[in-house]
Chain A
Amino acid sequence: MGSISSDFGTAGNWAGGIVPTADADISFAASPANNCVLDQNRSLDDITNAQSSYKLVTNGKQLTIKGTLYFSNGAQINATSASSEVVFAGSVAQGYTCRCICGNTFQSMTVNNTNGLTVNDDLTISQGLSLASGAIAIGAHTLTINGEISLSAGSFTGGVSSNIIFGGSAAAVIPAVTLNNLLLTAQAAPTLAGDVSVGGTLTLSDGTLTVGAHTLTISGSSPVRTSGYLNAAHVSASVVFGNASAITLPAGLFTGGINNLTLSGAGGVTAGSDLTVNRILNLAASNPSATSLQPTIDYTNYPGTANTDYLNSIY
């Protein structure tokens, strides 16, 4: 009700005059008098709010949600203040069915629900994202992460319409996921913690995306690079181009050599600058432009004779 103030911890603000206990359900009155502002870290089960005038405000505290958000008529949680954290820790799948996140932004978010969390709108995490357990289902939305990602047993569930943007300079790991677009801005330096597939566009505005001991598959359009890099030099790294249409790699895309490079798409790849393959160049698809190939050999400072076992020509 908020009859006295906005303080969660003031008994007189609640019907019955009792501050809700840990993991209680709470409901906003139909016409409350104030926001409901956390006074300390609180853990709640179901939260119901059917009006937009007054919000649940985290106020730099941790709000743990173990139940369902029954929000309607524009009701929202405001978790944008510094140090605020929202923890989804339900025992069944969680999500929200309305645009109930103020500014579509959490300062920090933890998902600790083995049954996962489904976001139904674009979402920005300003500081930290903790993937403790369960999957965040991104759906046809954009997840923007401007801080650190800590990965325990959590994951992402992406799809052909899912997008992730990395900003900021904090360390981040990317669990295995299929995406439409992946964008690095600022000084972002995420490292893959699983195989990642980008079916749309990989954009490296800045920072470095490190493949590590995993596989990055690019099967959409030409990567876009402003000043970012792709690091695939790890001895177990693989980069796969599975594009159906022709693409051109921007100059300077890779920092260092590429461990394994596979071209499996029918579209072919044109290098925008020199590439170094350290281990296996797997040309799994035919050269789309080759009707006949003629090699010429140039060797430097060699007094002997080259023995060409077989120089392949394609007709």
Chain B
Amino acid sequence: MGATAITTGIGDVTGTIRQATILENTPYTFGHEYSTVTLTAGTMPDALAVTVTIECNTSG
């Protein structure tokens, strides 16, 4: 994802979503508009990647 890229909509990405620009206290979306990660303190990482995989639904 680009430095200021966002995710919107009801869908999801499966696979690896990588954010190469990380600023502290900034929420980044990873494959869904509500899947966000925020790093709050310290030296920011070079990159952040979230891998989303499909899992069998065992609930209910």
A interface residue numbers (CB < 8 A to B): 257, 262-263, 271, 276-287, 289-312, 314-315
Contact assessment for A284 and B37 in the assembled complex, using a CB-CB cutoff below 8 Å: no
- Neighbouring A residues of B5 by C-beta, 8 Å: 277-281
A-B CB contacts (within 8 Å), total count: 150
Q: Considering only CB atoms, which chain A residue lies closest to B41 in the complex?
A: A304
Q: Considering only CB atoms, which chain B residue lies closest to A290 in the complex?
A: B12
Contact assessment for B13 and A283 in the assembled complex, using a CB-CB cutoff below 8 Å: yes
B residues 1-38 near A (Cβ < 8 Å) are 1-2, 4-15, 27, 29-38
The answer for the CA separation of A286 and B33 in the assembled complex, in Å, is 12
Contact assessment for A263 and B14 in the assembled complex, using a CB-CB cutoff below 8 Å: no
Count of interface residues, chain B, beta-carbon cutoff 8 Å: 46
B residues 23-60 near A (Cβ < 8 Å) are 27, 29-57, 59-60
Contact assessment for B42 and A298 in the assembled complex, using a CB-CB cutoff below 8 Å: no
Show 7 residue pairs from A and B whose CB-CB distance is below 8 angstroms, ordered by the A residue.
A263-B11, A279-B4, A286-B11, A290-B54, A291-B57, A295-B30, A312-B34
Contact assessment for A282 and B44 in the assembled complex, using a CB-CB cutoff below 8 Å: no
A207 to chain B, nearest CB (A): 25
Contact assessment for B44 and A302 in the assembled complex, using a CB-CB cutoff below 8 Å: yes
Q: A279-B2, A304-B40, A315-B59 are in contact. Are A298 and B51 (CB under 8 A)?
A: yes
Contact assessment for B41 and A308 in the assembled complex, using a CB-CB cutoff below 8 Å: no
Q: A290-B54, A297-B48 are in contact. Are A306 and B39 (CB under 8 A)?
A: yes
The answer for the CA separation of A314 and B14 in the assembled complex, in Å, is 12
The answer for the CA separation of A300 and B39 in the assembled complex, in Å, is 12
Residue of A285, A286, A289, A312 touching B35 (CB-CB under 8 A): A312
The answer for the CA separation of A308 and B40 in the assembled complex, in Å, is 10
Q: A277-B1, A309-B37, A315-B59 are in contact. Are A298 and B8 (CB under 8 A)?
A: no
Contact assessment for B7 and A257 in the assembled complex, using a CB-CB cutoff below 8 Å: no
